[in-house]
Amino acid sequence: MVGAGQLARMTHRAAIDLGVELRVLATDPDEAAVHAGADHLIGTPDEITDLRRLAEGAEVLTFDHEHVPSEIIEQLENEGVTVVPSARSKRLAQDKSYARERLGELGFPLPPFRLVHSSEEVADFGDEYGWPVVAKAPTGGYDGKGVWMVDDERAEPVPAERLAAGLLLEPKLELQRELAVVVARSTTGETRAFPVAETVQREAMCREILVPAPIPEALRQRAEELAISIVEATDSHGVVAVEMFVVDGDLLINELALRPHNSGHFTIEGTETSQFEQHLRAVLGWPLGSTELTAPAVVTVNVVGPSDGSDPRSRLAEAAGVPGAHLHIYGKEARPGRKLGHVTVRGPDLDSARDSALAAVMILEGNRSEEVEDV
């Protein structure tokens, strides 16, 4: 597995259960999966020699992030390395603009979008769809990084350096909800979706995952079908997270991640098989595990580094006292705004599970008061 962050760390945990030998590529011995004891090499994800070393003797090469350039993945494929997901499908997660075009060609519902390179094009788009406009860097963004609001291009133009590599523009949509569906597709072709999750963002970062998403059954089915169709139509393998917007009661596809995903962390306790074990099964060509919920409701809340720089680990014992709270700490150095862990709670309904998960997270984050919206 290329990458050694928390996704690799949780994949390592699943590999321990299965007796599967996982080796990760870390850029730094201080990364989360290395702290958890994953067998590792130190190297750079865009250095083909490091990737060759990583893949040596392995059955399959996979990823915990999007930072290996397509050309390098292709080169490894040409050299006979089994890479899952493939360079072609991985590009859907690496290049937002390519993903939009490809999903559009395949007939999937998308927000209006345009790839632009000049200030004039930004202004035209805003005039056509209304201000403000959402501008995204086509590559490299995550957790709100690489996304900007443009209030009025003529009054305050986008800096030229952001335009240089192109910008993906979207109208600012009235989002009723955001959903995420994690789907696994084995190299055998077997495909299974995990239950549809609602993701709640605050400060442009996913903070809560509510499962099952509190939406009408018909919409939930449509979300699941859409996600499965996308994975099949794009011939993707491994675990794929499909992010969607609910706008005017209907679904629009936002982004894909071709790897285990934050929105799927609830599966560790919340479904029979975790997304991490499922990813291993899928990339190894094993039968997939059951994705049934283990409780009526499951809520995951992310633990984010508090602004005072304190470490949530200093408050673990207290948080452990919240009934039903499953604490997951990634072993990363505490920094304000950094995702440092998550808490999952199973319950009879979303409200009670969410209350408990939030209670544990508030303790871990040092009881900082925080605006919590009703959902």
The two beta strands, 39-42 and 23-26, are parallel
- List 255, 295, 310, 351, residue binding its own copies (CB under 8 A): 295
* CB closer to its own copies, 245 vs 330: 330
2-21 residues near its own copies, rule: CB under 8 A:
9, 12-13, 16-20
* CB closer to its own copies, 112 vs 287: 287
Q: Interface with its own copies includes 294 (CB under 8 A)? A: yes
253: closest CA among 112, 94, 90, 135?
Answer: 112
**d(Cα 151, Cα 133) in Å, to the nearest integer?**
7
Cα distance from N-terminal residue to C-terminal residue, the chain: 36
* CB closer to its own copies, 72 vs 295: 295
Sequence-ordered list of residues with C-beta below 8 angstroms from that of 272, at least 6 positions apart, any chain:
289, 290, 291, 292, 294
- List 92, 103, 284, 363, residue binding its own copies (CB under 8 A): 284
Q: Which residue has the tokens 């997939």?
A: 288
Q: How far is CA 198 from the centre of its chain?
A: 13
Please give the single-letter amino acid code of residue 72.
Answer: I
Taking the complex as a whole, how short is the minimal distance between the CB of residue 297 and its own copies, in angstroms?
13
Q: Interface with its own copies includes 37 (CB under 8 A)? A: yes
* CB closer to its own copies, 102 vs 185: 185
- 3-state secondary structure (DSSP) of residue 346: strand
Q: Interface with its own copies includes 42 (CB under 8 A)? A: no
* CB closer to its own copies, 59 vs 128: 59
Q: Interface with its own copies includes 375 (CB under 8 A)? A: no
Size of the site for its own copies (CB under 8 A): 37
**d(Cα 298, Cα 211) in Å, to the nearest integer?**
5
- CB of 4 closer than 8 Å to CB of 64: yes
- List 241, 346, 357, 360, residue binding its own copies (CB under 8 A): 346
Query: Residue 28 has which token pair?
Result: 């730094």
**d(Cα 303, Cα 363) in Å, to the nearest integer?**
10
Q: Interface with its own copies includes 58 (CB under 8 A)? A: no
Stretch 317-336: interaction string toward its own copies, x if CB under 8 A: x--xx-xx-xxxxxx-----
- List 4, 8, 25, 36, residue binding its own copies (CB under 8 A): 36
- CB of 47 closer than 8 Å to CB of 69: no
* CB closer to its own copies, 140 vs 287: 287
Query: Residue 66 has which token pair?
Result: 């999007």
* CB closer to its own copies, 97 vs 274: 274
The binding site for its own copies (CB under 8 A) comprises: 9, 12-13, 16-20, 36-39, 272, 281, 284-287, 289-290, 294-295, 313, 316-317, 320-321, 323-324, 326-331, 341, 346
